[in-house]
Amino acid sequence: MEEWALLDSLQKKLYKDVMRETFRNLASIGEKWEDHETGDQYKNRGSKHRSQMVERRCKRMEGSQCGET
C-alpha cells in the first residue's frame, strides 16, 4: 500500500482510531436495526451477521500492526 508508507506515525494512528470508531458505530447501527425489525427473521439474521462481522474486523484492527510503527 503506497499511500500507507507515506503516512507518519500520527497519521497512521489517526486513521486507525477513525476506522475503529467507524466500525463501532456501524456495529451499533446493526444492533438498533435488529431491535426494530423483530418481525422479519431474515433481516434480523443478516443484521446480526453484519454486526458480528464489523465487530470482528474492529477487534482485528485493534490487534493489527498496520497502524503501529
Residue for grid cell 510503527: 69
The pLDDT score that the predictor gives to residue 28 is: 84
Q: At 8, is the secondary structure helix, strand, or coil?
A: coil
In tens digits, the chain (69 residues) has pLDDT values of 689 999 999 999 999 999 999 999 888 887 766 666 555 555 555 555 666 667 776 666 665 544 444
Distance CA 30, CA 9 (A): 32
CB 57 within 8 A of CB 26: no
Q: Please tell me the pTM assigned to this model.
A: 0.45
The pLDDT score that the predictor gives to residue 11 is: 96
Dihedrals φ, ψ of 12, to 5°? -65, -40
